[in-house]
Chains A and B, each alone.
Chain A
């Protein structure tokens, strides 16, 4: 385990049905697939040999369509669902070994959760909801409420402390949900399709709220979504789940420029690559022949195009904050990256630089 690894999932299986333990060897040792398991053995394969590492301070997005097992997976991270087999180490401790008491401590202090349909307590006010995690920890009411007020302000809900959740719009309710999760000061945030139930505009707004908070708090966030745009906007790393198995895991450019199979390629084919990909993913470290003003490595390809208005055939130097010039970029690479990948020949298009940028 690398030192920066926060959550390490290894060999995780979840099988639903009357006798999961008996069905496990069929899947693990004989490689029976989801469909056959259901039709011939009457069990549902929820998670199929998941192994994944979440790094400290990352927003780790797990993306998949409904039924892919993503909500099941995130519920294993705080053991709302018990696995059939496998381990989940958080900071080196296997949470499967926790006693009920230790598990409660883990849920109170280490990992808090935000839910797709908010799941607020209808009989508590906004203040009562945000303070709930602290109250469960045993913090005195006055202290808990004072801290809760701070978080209510941070998520922009000042003035609504004494309202009940039913009086709030969906977006506001989820701000309460977010504040409730942040208030416990846990270092891990589990977000289960947290913004999926919101209107598109509110969703974008909430993504902005989350990114702003994350820039300061640097929590380890596992974010579940079925929305690729959301995944690309929020994720430091993205894992794509299908039929309970991870079919690709990597950084945004890796997923976009090097989809592992036709399924993912189909997913990413309609996104605006120029806006999602950044110069750092296509640049070369060779700076010979680069002229003109430097382009920042963090610039999106869309913005970088403007640097080539006057001299389309030349190369521009690429700078990185704190490191100066680190390489160069030219129009051909940018155009290749923006082009839709052809699945069969996708490997041929991947530049060594793109691999390195992962």
Chain B
């Protein structure tokens, strides 16, 4: 520490001390995982079961039924034949190119991750919109979640839960939840003050005000948040495959390590197709939710 050249070389702590600090933190966390790891793993058991159930359902159903259901969803969300055609065409391509199984696994993970992000994110966003102090506390956390390289928080998650589906889902949710929280908060804050005043003047309870006015009027923004969350979850499939999540990420990873160019492109294309389908689906649904704007 007492280096005479401290004006030239940054007076960093020496390696031994740094190692000691790192070791102390690692040991402390390792102790935590040894003590609570099993309990935490048990707590995530329902999530694992849900994950497995969705995956089995998608893999077990005949391919034409899966395509029919998703095409039906596309029709219900958009009423546009072109979107239905896109959905059917994309899935036929994926199936013909032999990527059906991996695609279903990825879809199962995206579905579960989105469900978790939405069920946790919307209430957090609602609470944030009601308190500036809470918002002040949550926003920096969201900033860290979005900018921290995802490999970094894979380490503690894997130390705690090992390799597999649950740590994969957690890593994806941590990465993908900020948009739905931010846009729920924004959407509710943007609801017209005069409309809210009128709602109060008619004696609406806080609950009636939230579900009858604030959330419906914030829905376009909330839907945009869900859309972003799905896109971010999809972008995590390769990273998640590194900790053992099966799906389209694994062949991509294999393609990178073995320099299989065509295989990488094909699987990457399948991810892109999924992204386009989910994006168009959620956006059309969001537009249909606010068709009152088009009545003029």
Contact = CB atoms under 8 A, between A and B. Distances in A.
Interface residues of A, number: 30
A104 B205 CA distance: 7
B203 A163 contact: no
A149 to B, nearest CB: 18
Contact of A108 (B202, B290, B292): B202
Contacts of B296: 166-167
B27 interface: no
A136 B197 CA distance: 14
A106 B293 contact: no
B198 A113 contact: yes
Interface string B180-224: 000000000000101101111111110010001100110000000
B242 to A, nearest CB: 44
A112 B194 contact: no
Contacts of A112: 201-202
A135 B208 CA distance: 10
Interface of A: 78, 80, 103-109, 112-113, 115, 117, 119-123, 132-133, 135-137, 163-164, 166-167, 180, 184, 190
- Interface residues of B toward A: which range? 20 to 34
Q: Interface of chain B, helix or strand or loop or mixed?
A: helix
14 contacts: A104-B203, A108-B203, A112-B201, A113-B198, A113-B202, A119-B198, A121-B198, A122-B293, A123-B217, A132-B202, A133-B202, A133-B203, A136-B204, A136-B208
A132 B296 CA distance: 22
B295 interface: yes
Contact of B295 (A103, A166, A180): A166
Contacts of B204: 104, 136
Contacts of B213: 121
A325 B147 CA distance: 89
Given A108-B202, A122-B192, A133-B202, 19 more contacts: A78-B201, A80-B197, A105-B203, A106-B203, A107-B200, A113-B198, A113-B202, A117-B194, A120-B198, A121-B195, A121-B199, A122-B195, A122-B293, A123-B290, A135-B212, A136-B212, A137-B203, A163-B295, A166-B296
Contacts of A136: 202-205, 208, 212
Interface of B: 192, 194-195, 197-205, 208, 212-213, 216-217, 290, 292-293, 295-296
Given A115-B194, A119-B194, A121-B213, A107 B295 contact: no
B201 A123 contact: no
A70 B194 CA distance: 17
Nearest to B204: A136
A167 B295 contact: yes
Given A123-B217, A166-B296, A167-B296, A107 B195 contact: no
Contacts of B205: 104, 136
A122 B292 contact: yes
A77 B198 CA distance: 14
Given A107-B203, A122-B217, A136-B204, A166 B198 contact: no
Nearest to B291: A164
A342 B201 CA distance: 43
B286 to A, nearest CB: 13
Contacts of A123: 216-217, 290, 292
Nearest to B196: A119
A115 B197 contact: yes
A112 B290 CA distance: 28
A304 B232 CA distance: 80
B208 to A, nearest CB: 6
